[in-house]
Each structure stands twice: as C-alpha cells, then as structure tokens.
C-alpha cells in the first residue's frame, strides 16, 4: 500500500515537559491504524500534531508526498485531513443535519455574492449538500434523529454526529479521538461496522485513539503504542499485544486487565 501520511521524528515540548518524543509513523491509504497507550502517554498530543491543531517542536509531516508541517489547521482540512475531538464541539440547539452541514464549509463553491442574489447554482448546491448530509446521517445510524436538536441526543449519538460532520469534508485521512468513549457494547459494535463501511464507501485511511484496547485490536490493521510520549511498539495487533514492553507499560499503569 502507498503511504498517505508519513511523520518523522515528531517531538512536542510544553515548557519543560516533552509530551511527544521523537515519534515516527506512517499511515497507508485505505488503512485503519490504532494509537494506544496508558493515560498521559501523549496520544492526543500526537493526534493534534497530525491534524495541525498543534505545531511540532521538531520533526516533519508529509501528506501525499507534500510537506505540511507548518500548515495552519484549516489547510489540513482543505488537503483532506479531518478529525473528531475528545470533547464534543457541537451546536447544541442546531439539528443533526445543521451540525453535519457545518462540515461542508471547506467544499462550498458559491460565493457571498451568489448567495445574496440567490442564484440557481446556490440552490443546486444547497440541495446537493442537504442530500449528502442526510446520507451521512444515515451512514452513522441517525436517520430517525436527523431533524432533532443535538441537545436531545445521547452522548453516544452526539459522537456519531461529530463523526458525520468530519466525513462531510470528504477526507482522505480521518482521525478519531476516543470516538467510542461513553458508548455501551452494542453502540461500540455499531461504530465498528460504521468504520468499516466508511472505509469501504469513502476509501479513506483512518487513525484512532481509544482506551478500549479490545475495540482497537479487533478493527485495526496496525497499532502504534506510546508511553510517556515515546513510541514503544508498532505492528499488527497480535504482535503488539504480546510485546513485553507494552505489557509492562500497562501493568505499570494498572491497566493490565484491559489487555
């Protein structure tokens, strides 16, 4: 498979604290990659670096052969990198469809003048985007809730809204930050099916941070493991789970039962 994203020597310092320490990874097209590690391992900081939210202290990021290390966050979205966030950032009074449509902002072609004049192209674009928002709501299992205010939804459903909104930008790489946190077992199974369907329909690569190691092991093609900001293992799930350094890291953080 062709590498879509390549990160070399990523390091991030916050004052005297090194949150990510010389981490290198690659994500291939059409691949599902898990990023795991105990609390405080640097996982979210790494995802922030890969999505442009945070700029690295050292190291480089290439996307589709292009150096994007110094790109501002909105450029990451424009070139095809989208993400969800651990802390939801939805418009609570807006409907599911309203929130999903926010994700189309990088793709809207009609300008302010055309919108003010209500030219036919604006109406066509609005209709097409609404139809796509409805398809995305259906894809994440929210067909019956698409007109409801987000404030009336469960936490798990709101996570699905954020997933659909990220997909609205038609990413080539989708970054998921603890998407299944707060979900019950059935919801997790549904999200796993949804992730596979997203890969099938959109052909995008997916990288995820999760604390549910069983979930990550079940659906990932490859896994990277961080501990105190350092990459301690990488490889297929079966190889990583048996790595003594990985087991030691989780035992030392009172999480061995999750392995």
Task: For the chain, list the domains and their CATH numbers.
Answer: 3-80+171-258 (3.40.50.300)
pLDDT, tens digit, 9 for 90 and up, residues 134-162: 999 999 999 999 999 999 998 888 999 99
Q: Is the pLDDT score of 255 beyond 50?
A: no
> What does the longest C-alpha to C-alpha distance in the chain come to?
65
Q: Which string of DSSP letters, residue by residue, matches 111-164?
A: -HHHHHHT-HHHHHHHHHHHHHHHHHHHHTT-GGGTTSBGGGS-HHHHHHHHHH
Average pLDDT over residues 185-190: 90
Q: What is the pLDDT of residues 24-60, one digit of tens each?
A: 999 999 899 999 998 889 999 999 999 999 999 999 9
User: Which two structure tokens, joined as six digits, stand for 1?
Assistant: 């498979």
> pLDDT digit string (tens) for 104-126?
865 555 443 444 445 556 677 78
Q: Rounded CA gap, 78 and 169, in Å?
A: 8
Rounded Cα distance, 175 and 169, in Å = 13
- Residue 156 confidence (pLDDT): 86
């Amino acid at each position: 498979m062709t590498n879509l994203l390549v990160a070399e020597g990523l390091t991030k310092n916050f004052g005297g604290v090194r949150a990510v320490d010389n981490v290198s990874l690659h994500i291939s097209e059409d691949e599902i990659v898990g990023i795991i590690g105990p609390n405080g391992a640097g996982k979210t900081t790494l995802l922030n670096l890969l999505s442009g939210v945070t700029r690295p202290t050292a190291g480089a990021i290439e996307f589709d052969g292009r150096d994007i290390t110094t790109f501002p966050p909105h450029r990451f979205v424009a070139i095809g990198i989208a993400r969800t966030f651990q802390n939801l950032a939805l418009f609570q009074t807006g409907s599911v469809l309203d929130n999903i449509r926010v994700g189309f902002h990088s793709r809207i072609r009609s300008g302010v003048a055309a919108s003010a004049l209500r030219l036919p192209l604006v109406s066509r674009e609005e209709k097409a985007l609404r139809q796509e928002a409805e398809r995305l709501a259906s894809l994440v299992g929210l067909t019956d809730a698409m007109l409801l205010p987000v404030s009336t939804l469960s936490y798990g459903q709101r996570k699905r809204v954020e997933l659909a909104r990220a997909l609205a930008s038609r990413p080539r790489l989708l970054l998921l930050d603890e998407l299944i946190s707060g979900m019950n077992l059935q919801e997790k199974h549904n999200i796993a099916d949804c992730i596979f369907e997203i890969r099938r329909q959109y052909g995008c690569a997916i990288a995820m941070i999760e604390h549910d190691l069983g979930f990550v092991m079940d659906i990932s093609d490859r896994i990277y493991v961080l501990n105190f900001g350092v990459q301690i293992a990488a490889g297929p799930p079966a190889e990583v789970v048996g790595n003594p350094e990985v087991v030691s890291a989780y035992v030392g953080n009172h999480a061995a039962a999750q392995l």
